[in-house]
Structure 1
C-alpha cells in the first residue's frame, strides 16, 4: 500500500494494519503455501492452488486454527498482498515466492524501463559479480518502485536498492512476468543490467 493511499483513505490504512495474530498467521500461510504444504498434510495443485476448506481443516488439525473470516482478513490486510483467492473464493494460493514446483501461469509482460531490487549491503559484492539469481525460488523478484524495494530490503537490516535496466533486458530477449500483487518476475538478472545502488 502506498503512502498516498494511507493519506487519501486513513480508515483503510487502519483497517489494513495487521494485528499480531494476523502477522503470525500470514507467516505460517507463507510457509505452507510457498514452501512446505506437506507440513500440514496438504498438496498444492500444479498452479499452486489449494482448497480453502482443505487449508482451514489442515490448520485446525495442526493446532493453528483460523476461521474463514480470519483468513479473509489476513488476505485482505497483508501489505504485500501475498495471497490470492480464485474467482470463486474456494481456492487460495501464494501470489509468488514458491520454492516448491508450481506453474503460476502468469503471462509474459512488458516491464517498465526501470525496476528495483532491495537487498542488504553484505550481498552487494556477490550480486555485482554474479547478478541476481533466484536462489531457492522460481524467479528473481523485482519491485516496481524504490520504496517497495526498500521495504523488501529491510527484512535483513539496513537496505540498499539496486536499479535494474528492465527495458534493455526486455529488448535483449529476457522474459518478464508480473504477479497478481505487482511483483515483477524474471529468471535472472545478469550483472550488466544492474545500475546504481541507492542507500535509503
Structure 2
C-alpha cells in the first residue's frame, strides 16, 4: 500500500493512522525520513513530527492512545518513552532482541482456502517478513484468517517442532514467531 493511500485527509482516522504506523515502523521508515536503529526503534518525537506534517491534528497523546488502546497491540514504547517500534511483522531487517521461548504443545495459524494447498505442500513460510506469525488460541487465528476471507485454521505441532530443533520467540504482544513451519508439523483444524 502506498503512503498516500494510508493518509487520511481532513480528519484523523484511527485505522488509517494505525496502518500508517505499521507501514512506517515495519516496512518503510525512510518514506517519512525516519531513522530506525538495528532493533527497530524510531525516535518518538521524530515520528510524531513526521506524521504531524501529513496530519496536523496528530500529536504525542494520540500516538500514546494508539499504542495503549490498539486491540492488536502492534507497537511498544521504550521504557522512557523516547522511542517506539513495531512488536513484530517487519519486512526490514531488525533484531527485536527476543529470547528463545518454550512454546505450548500447539499453536495456530489463520489463513484462507486459496493458500491451503501450497501451505500443506510447502509449509508456512515467512515471505518478506522476518518470521512466521502464530497464535496461542483459535480465536486469534480466526481473526487473522478473516482479514482475507473465510478463515481456515491450521494447528502447528509447536512442541514437536522445538524438540526437532526449531526455535520459537514470543513478541511483546504475545504473537509467537518462528522461521518457518514445515508441512509435517501442520494439521487442518476441524470445526
Is TM (by shorter chain) over 0.5?
Answer: yes
Instruction: Determine the structure 2 residue equivalent to 1:181.
Output: 173
Gaps of 5+ in 1: 1-19
Instruction: Determine the structure 2 residue equivalent to 1:35.
Output: 27
Shift of 1:59: 1.1
What is the SS of the residue equivalent to 2:169? strand
Instruction: Determine the structure 2 residue equivalent to 1:195.
Output: 187
Matched, 1:152 2:144: yes
Q: Distance in 1 between matches of 2:94 and 2:175?
A: 17
Q: Report the count of equivalent residues.
A: 180
What is the SS of the residue equivalent to 1:119? strand
Gaps of 5+ in 2: 1-11
Confirm or deny: 8 A CA contact 1:59 1:65 kept in the other structure: no
Q: 2:51 aligns with which of 44, 49, 59?
A: 59
TM-score (norm 1): 0.87
What is the SS of the residue equivalent to 1:156? coil
Q: Distance in 2 between matches of 1:44 and 1:65?
A: 24
Q: 1:25 aligns with which of 4, 17, 25?
A: 17
What is the SS of the residue equivalent to 2:23? helix
Q: Distance in 2 between matches of 1:130 and 1:43?
A: 36
Q: 1:75 aligns with which of 67, 77, 81?
A: 67
Shift of 1:76: 1.1
Deviations 1:14-65 (A, max 9, x none): xxxxxx7111110100000000111111121000001110101111223465
Deviations 1:149-178 (A, max 9, x none): 000111101111100000100100100000
Confirm or deny: 8 A CA contact 2:26 2:92 kept in the other structure: yes
**C-alpha root-mean-square deviation of aligned residues, in Å?**
1.2
TM-score (norm 2): 0.91
